[in-house]
Structure 1
Amino acid sequence: MTVILFELSFWLAAPVWLLMIFAPGWGPTARIARSPLTVVPVLLVYLGLAVPVFPELWTAVSSPDLETFRELTALADGAGAVWAQVIAWDLLVGQWMYLEGRRLGVSPLLMGPLLVLTVLLSPFGLLVFLGLRAARSRNLE
């Protein structure tokens, strides 16, 4: 069951990513991206994975250290829960980037690859976007 939930967390987020990347100008895309509810299905998967390992999860977050976190992620449900959490937060970051990009008039031809980078390596995508956003904001002043 853990493997199914692990994979499901990505597939629940994928439609929103696909809309933002491949249909950025379609009316419903912006409405969907504005909703924080898009992450609820992924968070339900997170709960399904986190509840069975809650004692280990609590220990890892209440007294964080590398070894405790390593022990959590050595458990299948622990690793799955961390993955689902990453998927959910990455989706929220991607939605914010998409909306900010539209607000600033960033071309979808630039935002699409940037969102793909964010799906794959969120911190890199976010850093590049923050730089682009700063430069774009300066130009709009």
Structure 2
Amino acid sequence: MTGFLFQIAFLLTVPFWGLMVFAPKWSGTLKIVSSPLVAVPPLVVFCVVTVGHLPVLWATMSNPDLDTLRAFMNEAWGATAVWAQVIAWDLLIGAWMFRESRRLDLHPLLMGPLLVFTILLSPFGFLIFLGIRHFRDTPDRATQVVTDR
């Protein structure tokens, strides 16, 4: 069962990633990925996997050290839980990048590959996007953010 949950955690996010990569201009894409609820499916997997192991999960996360985390990750349920959590956060990062790319008017041919890269190696994809955003964004958006002008 844990192996199935491991596999399904990512598969539940594929439709959202697919919309951002393959249908970035469709109005429904922005509406759908603007909701933080896109992260719920893999987080449900996280909850299902961890509910029977809450004492171990709590002990591992409330006082982390490398050996305890290594033992936690050595368990199939522990690795699946971390995987589901990472997948959820990656999707939230990707959705934010997508929304920002629309605001910055970045071309889908730039963002598509960058989002795919973010799926695979999110810290690198996120850092690259932050660099692009830094150079593309206006120097002082404070007034724009507050007044929406």
**TM-score in terms of structure 1 length:** 0.96
Unaligned runs of 5+ in 2: 142-149
8 Å Cα contact 1:98/1:111 also seen in 2: yes
Instruction: Report deviation, 1:53.
Output: 2.2
Equivalence map 1:1-141=2 (5 Å): 1-138=1-138
- How big is each residue's C-alpha offset from its partner over 1:56-88, in whole Å with a ceiling of 9 and x where there is no partner? 211111001111111111111111000000000
Greater share of residues in helix: 1
- In structure 1, distance between residues paired with 2:104 and 2:29: 17
Name the Cα RMSD after superposition.
Answer: 1.4
**Structure 1, residues 22-46: CA drift from partner, whole Å, max 9, x if none?**
1000111000110111111111111
- Aligned residues, how many? 141
What TM-score, normalized by structure 2, do the two folds share?
0.91
Q: Highest CA radius of gyration, 1 or 2?
A: 2
Output the CA distance in 1 between the equivalents of 2:41 and 2:72: 23
Aligned partner letter, 2:4: I
Deviating 4+ runs (over 2 angstroms): 138-141
| CA drift at 1:140 | 9.0
Letter in 2 for 1:43: L
Aligned-residue sequence identity (percent) comes to 55
- Structure 1: tracts of 5 or more residues without a match: none
